[in-house]
Amino acid sequence: MAEVLVVVEHLEGAPKKVTFEMLTAARALGEPSAVVFGAPGTADKLTEKLGEFGAQKVYVAESDDITGYLVAPKAEVLASLVERTQPAAVLLASSSEGKEVAGRLAIKIGSGIITGATEVAADGTATQVIFAGAVIVKSKVRTGTPIITVTPNAVTPVPAPATPQTEAVEVAVSDNAKLARVVDRKVESAGSRPELSEASIVVSGGRGVGSADNFSVIEGLADSLGAAVGASRAATDSGFYPHQFQVGQTGKTVSPQLYMAIGISGAIQHRAGMQTSKTIVAVNKDEEAPIFELADFGVVGDLFKVVPDATEQIKARKG
């Protein structure tokens, strides 16, 4: 069976859930081989976990040249791996960086590329949800080795224990791939809450929340559910909540089991980032708010009455 290269998404050696989703998706296409990029010592922390989700091999590309320069070194290493292993496909996460590595790789190896896949079939057909969730498309790469980027939270990760063989990959980065230097890297963490794009429940607040202080109402509900906190752009632009928690077209795309939109009108750009959530709940005082068109359950009412009350009741139920 042909190999399928899966580029591991991780934060300083901690695997992201999308990695397991990609390994699961890859098994439909062939034998998953994980590719770990990072500083020396990264793969050691990951190998066992990668095996749990079916990685037969782990290619280890560790070098300060990988972390020290933007995107281009990864594309270069992948291009040589593709040439050597002739994989059935290359899967990457549909993150900004994943897509950019995919784009450069496509040009290097002369392949087609599909971004934002929510499903990958055995014959390489990828499903995409486009136009803010309005249309489902099935497409296929027809030139070269298919390069597919996979949307986080779309595939259900299924374990398939394996004991991966690890193999060090030579990282010989050309001068051309060293043009953009990464001189500093800052992690703005979500604290103790789950990561937004991976969370199974997301509670988001909008302009209706009214102020940064009031966001404690949103955080309270989120914490009672073990959820991540998100925000609309109106809320981040007004300084109610930090920008990296913005959900939508220009923020994060989330696809949780439950999405709660509190004081959010439901503009198309916001929907673009949350429309594929399994269950959607809205609280809004305007009964005409467009968010109610997507909501499985909507409460027309004042969020400052409904949300704290609901938070208390949830806590009471959980004991």
Partner 1 sequence: MNIVVLVKQVPDSGSERALRDSDKTVDRESASLVINEMDEYAIEEALQLRDAQGGEVTILTMGPDRATETIRKALSMGPDRAVHISDEALHGACAPQTSLVLAKALEQLEWDLVISGAESTDGRVSVMPAMLAERLNVPQLTGARKLTVDGAKLTIERQTEDGYEIVEAEGKAIVSVWDTINEPRYPSFKGIMQAKSKPVETKSLADLGISPDEVGLANATSEVLEFSPRPPKGAGVKVTDEGDGAQKLVEFLASQKIV
Nearer to partner 1, 164 or 241 (CB): 241
Contact between 141 and partner 1 by CB under 8 A: the answer reads yes
Among 44, 48, 286, 296, binds partner 1 (CB under 8 A): 296
Q: Which of 163, 170, 179, 191 binds partner 1 (CB under 8 A)?
A: 179
User: Does 112 sit near partner 1 (CB under 8 A)?
Assistant: yes
Question: From partner 1, ligand FAD, none, which one binds at residue 181 (CB under 5 to 8 Å depending on kind)?
Answer: partner 1
Query: Closest approach of Cβ 162 to partner 1, in Å?
Result: 28
* Dihedral over alpha carbons 40, 45, 50, 52 (to 10 degrees): 160
Shortest Å distance, C-beta 225 to ligand FAD:
19
Evaluate whether 149 touches 96 at the Cβ level (below 8 Å): no
Interacting span for partner 1 (CB under 8 A) from 23-31, 38-46, 48-56, 183-191 = 183-191
Does 292 sit near partner 1 (CB under 8 A)?
A: yes
Which of ligand FAD, partner 1, none interacts with 284 (beta carbon under 5 to 8 A by kind)?
ligand FAD
Binding-site size for partner 1 (CB under 8 A) equals 90
Token pair listed for 171: 């990282």
Which of partner 1, ligand FAD, none does 85 bind, CB closer than 5 to 8 A by kind?
A: none
Core vs surface per residue 213-229: b (16+ CB within 10 A) or e: ebbebbbbbbbbbebbb
In degrees, rounded to 5, the angle at the alpha carbon of residue 243 between the alpha carbons of residues 152 and 94 is 20
Q: Return phi, psi of residue 228, to 5°.
A: -85, 155
Strand order through the sheet with 89-93: 126-130, 113-120, 147-150, 89-93, 3-7, 31-38, 57-62, 165-168
Which residues is 127 bridged to in the sheet? 119, 138
Rule CB under 6 A: which residues touch ligand FAD?
Answer: 206-208, 232-235, 246-251, 263-265, 267, 269-270, 273, 283-286, 289, 302-304
> Please, what is the minimum distance in Å from the beta carbon of residue 210 to ligand FAD?
7
Q: How far is CA 101 from CA 52, 158, 196, 293, in A?
A: 26, 26, 22, 37
Distance of CA 306 to CAs 18, 144, 213, 280, 299, Å? Answer: 34, 55, 17, 16, 8
Q: Mask 231-250, x = binds partner 1 (CB under 8 A)?
A: ------------xx----xx
Between residue 257 and residue 286, which ones bind partner 1 under the rule CB under 8 A? Answer: 257-258, 268-269, 272, 279-281, 283
Q: How far is the CB of 116 from ligand FAD (least distance, A)?
A: 15
3-class state of residue 284 by DSSP: strand
CB of 49 vs partner 1, minimal distance in Å: 19
Using rule CB under 8 A, residue 317 touches partner 1: yes
Amino acid letter, residue 227 = A
Per partner kind, with CB cut-offs from 5 to 8 A, the member of ligand FAD, partner 1, none near residue 206 is ligand FAD
Query: Which C-beta is closer to ligand FAD: that of 124 or that of 266?
Result: 266
Among positions 145-174, residues that touch partner 1 (CB under 8 A) are none
Backbone φ, ψ for residue 233 (5° rounding): -65, -35
Contact 91, 26 (CB under 8 A): yes
